[in-house]
Structure 1
């Protein structure tokens, strides 16, 4: 007799809701300026803080940006890097410049997610893979992203900025490192598919190409 997982399985509607949130999560760039309910924001931060982390190091730190001048300064850093990224893309420069890549000035909430300082003290799970702190922080962001979708809020992950300049702007301590600017807020609609797919920038790879049995997937690009 094979072991059954039925005793631990969620009810069908709860399970389906989880997969629905995964399927319908979008990297949003278009927002309404309406404020986010503080109770909802607390739930999103709770979800982030309950993410897994290697060695239970919990390396994430969140900075909520409520000052309008600071928000504009962050937008300036993003715009500076957007132009530099466009130049680095060569023949795709014009195509990139037509994309809306952030909603820093538009979203109801703006959060900066950073890695804490002193991470060299955490050896458990990181001795040969020190970048697991980044992976742990990404799990926290994904938790928040899925929770935001379930709450009916859009979220966009902005990574186009100079981390040293942003760390200085936010007076981060030595060793801290910003990873993401998160735009969170109400939206008129969620994109039917990832925006970069709709814009023809890229398409999702078939999962079968990325999965190999016992060896590297031979058909992976």
Structure 2
């Protein structure tokens, strides 16, 4: 017999999903080690295609490494601003990371040797990356439930970051995760608050039977 959750427990799951935020603003303070252990365990319980478990978490303890990662992020922010053209100046005004302020910092990487996992990857080789994303989302939701903010930073050169952290051939960093205490959680996603974009209507993203038949799901 499957476990039955109470309505309160069910509501809590949906609330955590709804109130999760990509956090860029932190207040000083170390993160309790027992909480970090729980968050990593939550990440490790994520599903993975073919049970490959391709995630690797590197905790950044060195302040010098933090500064080096900040330099990589700032360089990529400038490159991204240039690529954005007319929105470049607007992008440069955004706070895109909280690496210096956060209480704990992690780099998440795809492990090497993924080619051995054909199960689930023969036609969709990117499923290893999807598995890592599931692990990050688990950690993100658990952090929100613990009252901690987390931000996913993707502005960096993967080869330079891999070299900085002495990753083996074939491994690839996919995320810099900032974790820490917050004064408050954003009432809406930060990029909405900053006017960068808005969340699309769900009806426009759900189709029935064919790509173009959107808005046909009457239950939404």
The partner residue of 2:120 within 116, 120, 125 is 125
Specify the SS of the correspondent of 2:91: helix
Distance 2:61 2:211 in 1: 46
Work out the CA distance in 2 between the residues paired with 1:217 and 1:56. 34
Query: Deviation digits for residues 126-160 of structure 1, max 9, x if unmatched?
Result: 00100000000000000000000000000000000
SS at match of 1:128: coil
Q: Measure, in 2, the Cα distance between the counterparts of 1:219 and 1:200.
A: 26
CA distance in structure 1 between the aligned counterparts of 2:143 and 2:149, rounded to whole angstroms: 6
Distance 2:208 2:214 in 1: 12
Q: Is the 8 A contact 1:45 1:144 kept in 2?
A: yes
Q: 1:161 aligns with which of 156, 162, 166?
A: 156
| Structure 1 spans left out of the alignment, 5+ residues | none
Residues 140, 217 of structure 1: CA spacing in aligned structure 2 closer, same or farther, 3 A cutoff? farther
The structure 1 residue matched to 2:84, chosen from 60, 82, 89, is 89
Aligned counterpart in structure 2 of residue 137 of structure 1, from 95, 109, 132: 132
Normalising to structure 2: TM-score of the pair?
Answer: 0.95
Cα distance between partner residues in 2 of 1:88 and 1:218: 34
- Kindly indicate whether the alpha-carbon contact (under 8 Å) linking 2:206 and 2:214 is maintained by their aligned counterparts in 1: no
Q: Residues 110 and 173 of structure 2 are in contact (CA less than 8 Å); yes or no, is this contact kept in structure 1?
A: yes
Matched positions, count: 215
Moved over 6 A (4+): none
Name the SS for the 1:110 alignment partner: strand
Unaligned regions of 5+ residues in structure 2, if any?
216-220
Question: CA offset at residue 88 of structure 1?
Answer: 0.6
What is the deviation of 1:100? 0.4
Q: For residue 67 of structure 2, what is the aligned residue in structure 1?
A: 72
| 1:200 pairs with one of 182, 195, 205 | 195
1:32 deviates by 1.2
State which of 8, 25, 34 in structure 2 corresponds to 1:13. Answer: 8
Report if the CA contact (8 A) 1:81-1:161 is conserved: yes
Q: Residue by residue, what CA displacement relative to the aligned partner does 1:108-129 show, whole Å, maximum 9, x if unpaired? A: 0000000000100000000010
